[in-house]
Structure 1
């Protein structure tokens, strides 16, 4: 038994005590996640030392508005990388909306609102390429060679595909099954070597690494075409919604970045707690109260346990008031910048147009390299 424990610690760099840490949502961290976090920290250290050597890609599906989970899970890392000097790219994955939905209603509005929230959060389109999936055909064409590099069994094993199918109640379409390969196209077309993500998307980065490695081994051993990207995990990899479940637009438990102060207050006031008057931070036994404390901790930078001790016997009403005030204070600058940007929507559309043009130039170059590696250049 001691030998097994030693091997686990050696492989992950983590002790048994560290393996018992809890995430913000109250779920025990797995050893594999902690190992991934360790690799993430090592990559981040290299990135900070030499940011110009790194290219980042991440993005969002335009299925609705961005919320606090998006901000703390990914967006603030995007802004930090951009400001460090990393080559940053953000994809608005509009094609991926139809992986588990039968409509594209409101997609134009959703796309434009994503751009507004990106810029309000600090994304600078002069430094970061923002583009839409559907506007870059060469990137999507990478799906054909990439699909030949993974098996059906590997796609079925992807936990994110399973959870997306279960949560949506949608039948498993070919697009949903191959969703991880589509994301690999997103990441690899611009040769991204870092991807800032939350815990849920780790399997996608792993399959992207597999595809890059297999393509290089099969077609480009002497001159590899693709890097094997590394995941950079958020400091808050699991962020609970106001009801203690995962923060999700579909659960209605999310605080939207673009919501008004009044809308935010109304949502928090409606959030469930429990019958215990004394406020304590206990993610396992009191997930709903702890979710509110976690939210307050994130936006104030304070320890949730410290906030709980401060509120003490004042009860859920006092807790909710503290959360409302803290969240609204945190989001006030974002809302102000967003409102100013929204006054000129033509400029927002111009930003997308320019980003799409840049993305097409990169994708066409990468597709040419793929064809060259595969011996598919016939016009010379």
Structure 2
């Protein structure tokens, strides 16, 4: 029996498949906005879930904007700790995985004032009730570590709308859980255009087909839970983390994500690194047990990540260049944001 959730997601899935076909035929007509909050080290879940796809889109010829969302760090925490360190870590990871600053614009929130000025007119286009009903906002509030919910938490989806629309992004890679956020962006664009004239595209969702990797404790992989393998981890640290990963008592290794989540996530990680089917990897390991599984995973991860780690270490020797990448990206983002803000002011009949 088809559930209501499945019915509501199916149009987005179908649309995403159509967009993939269009990307192959005419990548130049798309502009993608994506990004990360600098709250800690990026890990293997990020790599296989989103980072690898950014490089794919860049290499297809899509105009990609990657946002380091430093202001949004404050949505669910009181202070932005070790911010410079985390921003520089993101930059190193981006360069190491193959982000090319000549083809992809990397920038940070706080360096683009015109982007953030879009928040004011955009907030006038949505109601408090609409923001409060947003399921992602409700979930963030439920899991917030703050003693009280800040106004920034409620405006988070509208700030994301400004992130996407400042550069007139028309394609946003998301997971299905982020569809409500993108719908607010589409609502903001539509209402602005209806009220003031056509300025913004209504961006489409490009749904991720990436399988879910669990953390080493068999729960959701997260920077804050200490259950991930950072892209910047060395071979010894990777081996130590995998050795401590959660498995189960069944010695025969199979790939069954529903019944054996910990074991299956490790099998999947090895398969992704090897470019193989997880069922085949599990069958090969067979009766070698958890020790054989972890040995296979460790070897696969370290082999796959070795060139990325080498490039990361090389870039880390020239942080001047790394900072120049962000400076150049900020310059381009500022030019784009200023042009968009001027267009918005003219459409609204304001003095520039």
Shorter-chain TM range is over 0.9
Q: Quick one: which of 184, 190, 200 aligns to 1:213?
A: 190
Q: Which residue of 1 aligns with 2:13?
A: 37
Distance in structure 2 (CA, Å) of the matches to 1:62 and 1:152: 28
Cα offset, 1:157, TM superposition = 1.9
Q: Quick one: which of 164, 179, 187 aligns to 1:202?
A: 179
Distance in structure 1 (CA, Å) of the matches to 2:261 and 2:53: 26
Q: Quick one: which of 237, 245, 267 aligns to 1:271?
A: 245
Aligned partner of residue 232 in structure 2, secondary structure: coil
Check if 1:53 corresponds to 2:32.
Answer: no
Unaligned runs of 5+ in 2: none
Q: Which residue of 2 aligns with 1:184?
A: 161
Alpha-carbon RMSD:
1.6
* Residues 328-343 of structure 1 mapped to structure 2, 5 A cutoff: 328-343=302-317
TM-score normalised per structure 1 = 0.88
TM-score normalised per structure 2 = 0.95
Maintained 8 Å contact 2:179/2:205: yes
Aligned partner of residue 228 in structure 1, secondary structure: coil
Q: Which residue of 2 aligns with 1:369?
A: 343
Maintained 8 Å contact 2:216/2:244: no
* Residues 43-122 of structure 1 mapped to structure 2, 5 A cutoff: 43-122=19-98
Distance in structure 2 (CA, Å) of the matches to 1:43 and 1:230: 8
Q: Could you give the per-residue CA deviations for residues 67-126 of structure 1, whole angstroms, max 9, x where no partner exists?
A: 111112211121111111111111100000011111222110110110111111111111
Cα offset, 1:237, TM superposition = 5.3
Q: Which residue of 1 aligns with 2:217?
A: 243
Maintained 8 Å contact 2:77/2:145: no
Cα offset, 1:195, TM superposition = 1.0
Maintained 8 Å contact 1:72/1:234: no
Unaligned runs of 5+ in 1: 6-15, 20-28
Q: Could you give the per-residue CA deviations for residues 314-347 of structure 1, whole angstroms, max 9, x where no partner exists?
A: 1111111111111111111100111111110011
Q: Quick one: which of 80, 104, 120 aligns to 1:128?
A: 104
Greater CA deviation, 193-202 or 315-324? 193-202
